Amino acid sequence: MKDAINISPFGYAELLRKLPELCSLGRCDAFGEVITTLYHKWSLYKRSVGTIPAILALEKIDCEGPISDNELSLIAEHCPKMRNIRLVYNPVVSRRSSSESELPDLAVLSTISNLDQLGIMSADFYSHSLFTVIKTAGGRLTHLELTNVDELNLAGLMMIGDHCMMLTCLNISSCHYTPEPSDRNKLEQACTPQALSKEKRPFSKLRRATFILTASTHIPILKYPIFFALNLEELKLKQIYQPMEDIFISSLVSWNPLQSLVQFHVTNGPHLSLMAANTLIQACPRLRQIGCVSSWGRVDREELLAFKREIVARNLDISIE
């Protein structure tokens, strides 16, 4: 379905009605309307076609259109095999379901027992009960993506670390972090050698991480997970609040020696030089790729070519892009 265009919600509804064993629709930004079309008790479509399958076999939803809490209730009820959901949350969508969930806002997601990959865009961490999902269903999650989520704070990050112990992939992009005066002391108290040595430390299974930071006060979003993710293999960073300096890369490897890191990508690096790349190469014995180096502001073409020749001469199996 990835190449399909101009399919209406009614078209998707008809597809699911006739093929209830479909596992995925691919990208479907109208899925909120689709599920309402199928299962709202006053749906004209439902009354006109007569028979609607009670259960759909869908396992994945990728929707960048709005989905309301009532539509999430319909998904939980009629898509029990759902494993992977990515959605834009909109609690004020006017489409109404045939029943009201007892669970507020995003909390209904915690009732989907197979859910292990979750992506939430444009929601509030506390006001929309995303924290409830983390507390009650976080133990099942292996992938978590938060984009443009408001009300995120250090307590929320710690909650994710404590409750999402199976997490292997984390993406936090352009979220609105709420700093508190006590953050620095809390980080120092949490990020200790003793905490790092615990068998059940937070983010111990994290392998891939992506961070897009929008303010200098957002550093805890990066530091807290990175400190504990000793098995991290892939790290992607983009800072859009200010240019990243070489010293930042030195700070990064001081938080975590990154002994398992294989791939590293930094975009928006107008102040980065090859010193940053050398810092990574020296610190990370398993490193195989440094991405976007050609776009770094303090790396010219001739310098980069010479650096690549040096990599070959040193017999290092590292791709510099």
Percentage of the chain with pLDDT > 90?
71
Residue 271 is classified by DSSP as: B
Q: Is the pLDDT of residue 66 over 70?
A: yes
134, HSE (Cβ side, Cα atoms, 13 Å): 24
Rounded average pLDDT over 107-136: 96
Spatial CA neighbour of 277 closest among 259, 260, 296: 296
In the prediction, which pLDDT does 3 show?
54
Are the beta carbons of 84 and 109 closer than 8 angstroms?
Answer: no
Q: Is the pLDDT of residue 182 over 50?
A: yes
- Cα-Cα-Cα-Cα torsion 135, 138, 140, 142, nearest 10 degrees, comes to -170
Spatial CA neighbour of 169 closest among 196, 201, 203, 195: 203
Q: Is the pLDDT of residue 100 over 70?
A: no
Interatomic CA distance for residues 260 and 238, integer angstroms: 21
What pTM was computed for the model? Answer: 0.92
pLDDT digits (tens, 9 = 90+) for 189-220: 999 999 999 889 999 999 999 999 887 788 88
Q: Is the pLDDT of residue 168 over 90?
A: yes
Lowest mean pLDDT among 67-76, 88-97, 211-220, 247-256: 88-97
Rounded average pLDDT over 113-134: 96
In the prediction, which pLDDT does 153 show?
95
Lowest mean pLDDT among 37-51, 79-93, 277-291: 37-51
In the prediction, which pLDDT does 51 show?
86
Instruction: Render 50-64 in DSSP notation, one character per residue.
Output: ----S-----EEEEE
pLDDT digits (tens, 9 = 90+) for 124-158: 999 999 999 999 999 999 999 999 999 999 999 99
Interatomic CA distance for residues 16 and 29, integer angstroms: 15
**φ, ψ (nearest 5 deg) of residue 288:** -125, -15
User: Mean pLDDT for the chain?
Assistant: 90
Residues contacting 195, CB < 8 A, separation 6+: 201, 228
Rounded average pLDDT over 285-301: 92
Q: Is the pLDDT of residue 93 over 60?
A: no
In the prediction, which pLDDT does 101 show?
62
Q: Is the pLDDT of residue 98 over 50?
A: no
Q: Are strands 169-173 and 263-267 parallel, antiparallel or unpaired?
A: unpaired
Please give the structure tokens belonging to residue 17. 């009605």
Rounded average pLDDT over 274-286: 95
In the prediction, which pLDDT does 39 show?
87
Task: Give how far the C-alpha of residue 307 lies from the chain's centroid of Cα atoms, to the nearest Å.
Answer: 33
pLDDT band, very low/low/confident/very high, at 97 (cuts 50, 70, 90): very low
User: Is the pLDDT higher at 165 or at 46?
Assistant: 165
In the prediction, which pLDDT does 5 show?
62
In the prediction, which pLDDT does 297 show?
87
Rounded average pLDDT over 216-241: 89
228, HSE (Cβ side, Cα atoms, 13 Å): 31
pLDDT band, very low/low/confident/very high, at 245 (cuts 50, 70, 90): confident
In the prediction, which pLDDT does 295 show?
86
Q: Please report the beta strands in the chain, taking only residues with DSSP state E, as ranges in sequence order.
A: 24-27, 60-67, 84-89, 117-121, 143-147, 169-173, 208-213, 234-239, 263-267, 289-291, 319-320
